[in-house]
Homo-oligomer: A and B are copies of this chain.
């Protein structure tokens, strides 16, 4: 893969079969009454000009999305789930009946009876603009017929959200019962509440931060520097060249991956266990299982992700500060009209409890309805994906209660209307 410039890299790519057993266990594919089965990825193209925060524009854009469950008659049961840095619209289910196929990225969370219960809710997930999984991004073809590459405008979290409003309009959804997301998904959920207060009833802000910290920026910048340093990156112009900046992107992903796990979970999963050997080699071979795991994660990522999209999306993360344009976080929240569920995890050192509290405290100061859970969990930032049982209890429970309240309100409203009608007849 890098033959022109140097010898084969010592570690990338690794032997996939040997490494597969190191990966987090995915649910076994089986017919399961709670499981979303075959789904399609949809695309919708908007001709409108999308005005971006940077001052730039997108003259038309496409969003890839998927949907699960059924939109009810009054279109009041829609939940938008927003994905994180490396996610996409494939939230749950499978594209084929290949028993080897892995399901969507939050498959465990979405389905009949699951935490996002598709018996009740119509669940939507769309790929962000700037991404590379079906929505318009730097790898997309620009109006001049060539890939945008770095000509793509820098997008921010509020731009991503603005693009999603077009999709909601297209689907006929005026008000979302909830917007939910973990990590960068939480930022989008919060931005929905701030920018479109009339369109969101509940905001679920999970393992996220209302403002990226210095350390958050530092880790993202290292990922970007790894990509810049790859000569195949070629200042973003690699789409019509035979080589891609895979080595740089893999290093960026490895850096990211460490921040998603806790020291504790790395220790429990790998410790100092050796990879396919019984003795240390005292060489630059891959001795430790944790090294193989990182190589695998880095290498696999290059098969499905675009290096320029990685640059754009990490920039959106760095720029994220819900206070921007409002003077303070509290000011930004003042006009929001939704209920909030905020969740942080004890071992998450990427988006920490103090960062979650940067949202919770102003909400409390404003007297806005917020339910906050700090969950004891060992899996670091990934806990929000891994702690399915706890999350089902908290998220599923919250949604049930909110649905009940809104349903009761609706009945009450209905009865009141009937009463009113009766009175006036």
Bin the interface of chain A by size: 35 or more
Residue A288 at the chain B interface, CB threshold 8 Å: yes
- Alpha-carbon distance between A217 and B329 when the two chains are bound, in angstroms: 38
Q: How far is the CA of A225 from the CA of B55 in the complex (A)?
A: 38
Q: Contacts A235-B7, A318-B288 given: A222-B294 contact, CB under 8 Å?
A: yes
* A224 and B12 alpha carbons, distance in the complex (Å): 12
Q: Does A95 belong to the interface (CB within 8 Å)? A: no
Q: Which of B7, B270, B272 contacts A211 (CB 8 A)?
A: B272
Closest chain B residue to A222 by CB distance? B254
A6 CB contacts on chain B under 8 angstroms:
231, 233-235
Q: Most chain-B CB neighbours within 10 Å: which of A250, A291, A315?
A: A291
Cβ contact within 8 Å between A213 and B258: no
Check: A215 CB closer than 8 A to any chain B CB.
yes
In the bound complex, do residue B215 and residue A258 qualify as a contact, i.e. CB atoms below 8 Å apart?
yes
Q: In the complex this chain forms, how many copies of it are found?
A: 2
Assembled-state Cα–Cα distance A220/B321 (Å): 31
Closest Cβ–Cβ distance, residue A367 to chain B (whole Å): 28
Contacting residue for A229 out of B212, B226, B288, B290, CB 8 A? B226
Output the residue of A212, A218, A266, A270 with the most chain B CB within 10 A.
Answer: A218
Which residues of chain B are near A410, meaning CB under 8 Å?
none
- The residue in A7, A234, A349, A352 that gathers the most chain B C-beta atoms within 10 A of its C-beta is A7
Chain B residues with CB under 8 Å of A229's CB are: 2, 9, 12, 226, 229-230, 247-248, 250-251
Question: B residues within 8 A CB of A270?
Answer: 214
* Nearest neighbor of A12 in chain B, beta-carbon distance: B225
Within 8 Å of chain B (Cβ to Cβ): is A298? yes
Residue A11 at the chain B interface, CB threshold 8 Å: yes
Q: Beta-carbon contacts of A181-223 to B below 8 Å, as 1s and 0s? A: 0000000000000000000000000000001111101110110
B315 touches A284 (CB 8 A): yes
User: Quick one: CB contact mask for A291-325 with B, threshold 8 Å, 1 for yes?
Assistant: 10011001000000000000100010011010000
Q: Which of B154, B230, B266 contacts A282 (CB 8 A)?
A: B154
Decide if A283 is an interface residue (CB 8 Å cutoff): yes
